[in-house]
Structure 1
Amino acid sequence: MGEAVVEAGGIVYALDRLPEPSDDFLAAQNRIDPATTAGSLHYRRVDVSNNKDLNDVITSTADEHGKLNGAIAAAGIQQLTPAIDYTPADAARMLQVNYTGVLMTAQACARSILKHKTPDASLVLIASMSGLIANKGLLSPVYNSSKAAVIQLARNLAMEWSKPRDDDGVPGIRVNCLSPGHIVTPMVERNFEEVEGLREMWEEANMMGRLSRPQEFGGAGVFLLGRASSFMTGSNLVIDGGHTAW
């Protein structure tokens, strides 16, 4: 999605906890042709569970440009454990990243958007169809619950932030949610290694008979951040190959 926003002319900052950007990030950066796009892709190190660092990075980035047009909050971790074996520490760790990290990211971005009075700002929270269903063949009760919480969070942030602030003329901030179906990512590939036959089960579970690729969500990111979705807030966009439509 970051690449797609760059291709549309956006200045994109990818935030992650790695000390140095991954090879995938560097490859994406190298694919950008400055002769054909005004966009650019940058990296900032931050762990979303460290709220002070998160606020500092987002604030300094927005201050550098004098605005913040939007953000995609996508931090998430997975743990395959039967519910009966989950410990409080396991649950707290996952919710700290998947839910609280997303909330604090949205909060920090909203502060900068309001500070700089950025018009047409939009926040996108990445949930999952796992927030709507129980994933067949995968014991991930807390992960699924965290994604359901993100869907509800988007509705509530939209309720609070979508209207313009009459006292100082600051425009409202649209907040929407994106719920992908199964995507072949490194995290999901590890699931396939842990659970025999899981890939085949998932491929048969949607109407297209295959899993998605990350680049298939680029257009959704551009749509949700941009003016094409100017009357859309508090919504959950489900893109799952028909998995939840049976």
Structure 2
Amino acid sequence: MGPFSASSYRSIAQSIRVLLPEFSLKDRVYVVTGGARGLGLTQVEAILEAGGRVYALDRLQQPRPDFERIAARAKDELGTHLEFIPSDVRDQDAMHAIAEDIVRKEKRIDGLIAAAGIQHTDTALEYRKEDADRLFEVNITGVFMSAQAVAKQMVKLGTPGSLVLIASMSGTIANKGLICAPYNASKAGVVQLARNLAVEWGQYGIRVNTISPGYILTDMVEAEFAEHPELRKEWASHNPLGRISKAPEYRGAAVFLLSDASSFMTGADMIIDGGHRAW
């Protein structure tokens, strides 16, 4: 059986808000980095459907066309709010200024999904320093600065909440057929960063967890397939389900980790890889 349709997810989300109130994000305020496209945008819509308000940050100057449709849904159908803020997650001062501005407008901030990340494949013998530096700056430093900026406001307000950092199954395995040692190292860093933040910030009621997806059909992965078309079939064969995941299959995990449904969960890595690591 394949993934649910978007209409099915909407129906489920509406039922959850009525029947499972611990999954509700009603009136809570979240930051989603990498939120203008791909996995980040998919999770933005899930938060909105669960009742949350979202500020989507992305290095793009303009979000993907679907963003405007989702923003209109937020306002007209869901009775909530979505706003786009161009930003560079590596810029510490800018991230703190954005978080402060959100709090000025909303009077609260309840958490984060740090989905901003980049990929660059090359052999370890040929990988250029400038490519490695940029990747680590976005995938580790950027995630850290995003979490720091949001957590600082939560501590200031005395607001408990949840931070979700997007890692990868590549943070705990070396992928067969995918040559990108720095990327895998960066995602391992995200998993370990989350554990340490969970330990430091638990005293403030701030939970920090990671989601480690398997292969997802995103723009970044499609670009990889365009350059190496043989990988599409190969990657699909590496898990027992025999396919590559789609971004909507991670919606539920995001809402679960942000909501009170996961209130006793912190410092954990939620691996969703189609059974890839079971072999």
TM (norm. structure 2) is 0.82
**1:112 CA displacement:** 0.7
The partner residue of 1:151 within 191, 195, 198 is 191
Distance 2:167 2:173 in 1: 12
Contact conserved, 1:8 with 1:39, CA < 8 A, in 2?
Answer: no
Q: Which amino acid aligns with 1:72?
A: I
Superposed counterparts of 1:99-178, under 5 Å: 99-119=140-160, 121-164=161-204, 172-178=205-211
Give the aligned partner of residue 244 of structure 1. Answer: 277
Distance 1:228 1:47 in 2: 31
Distance 2:118 2:241 in 1: 26
1:179-199 superposed Cα distances (whole Å, 9 cap, x missing partner): 001100000001111113101
Residue 42 of structure 2 corresponds to residue 9 of structure 1? no
Contact conserved, 1:127 with 1:148, CA < 8 A, in 2?
Answer: yes
Q: Which amino acid aligns with 2:128?
A: T
Superposed counterparts of 1:1-150, under 5 Å: 1-32=43-74, 34-35=76-77, 37-119=78-160, 121-150=161-190
Contact conserved, 1:5 with 1:222, CA < 8 A, in 2?
Answer: yes
Contact conserved, 1:10 with 1:38, CA < 8 A, in 2?
Answer: no
| Cα RMSD (Å) | 1.2
Contact conserved, 1:125 with 1:176, CA < 8 A, in 2?
Answer: yes
Give the aligned partner of residue 191 of structure 1. Answer: 224
Contact conserved, 1:67 with 1:117, CA < 8 A, in 2?
Answer: no
**1:33 CA displacement:** 6.2
**1:32 CA displacement:** 3.7
Distance 1:192 1:87 in 2: 22
**1:137 CA displacement:** 1.2
Distance 2:132 2:236 in 1: 29
Give the aligned partner of residue 258 of structure 2. Answer: 225
- Any gaps of 5 or more consecutive residues in structure 1? 165-171
Q: Which amino acid aligns with 1:194?
A: E
**1:245 CA displacement:** 1.4
Distance 2:118 2:182 in 1: 10
1:61-82 superposed Cα distances (whole Å, 9 cap, x missing partner): 1221111111001111110111
1:146-178 superposed Cα distances (whole Å, 9 cap, x missing partner): 0000000000000000124xxxxxxx2000010
SS at 1:145's partner residue?
A: helix
- Any gaps of 5 or more consecutive residues in structure 2? 1-42
Give the aligned partner of residue 205 of structure 1. Answer: 238
Contact conserved, 2:48 with 2:80, CA < 8 A, in 1?
Answer: yes
Contact conserved, 2:91 with 2:145, CA < 8 A, in 1?
Answer: no
The runs of at least 4 aligned residues of structure 1 exceeding 4 Å deviation read none
1:97-132 superposed Cα distances (whole Å, 9 cap, x missing partner): 00000001000011011111113x100000000111
User: Identity rate of aligned residues, in percent?
Assistant: 51
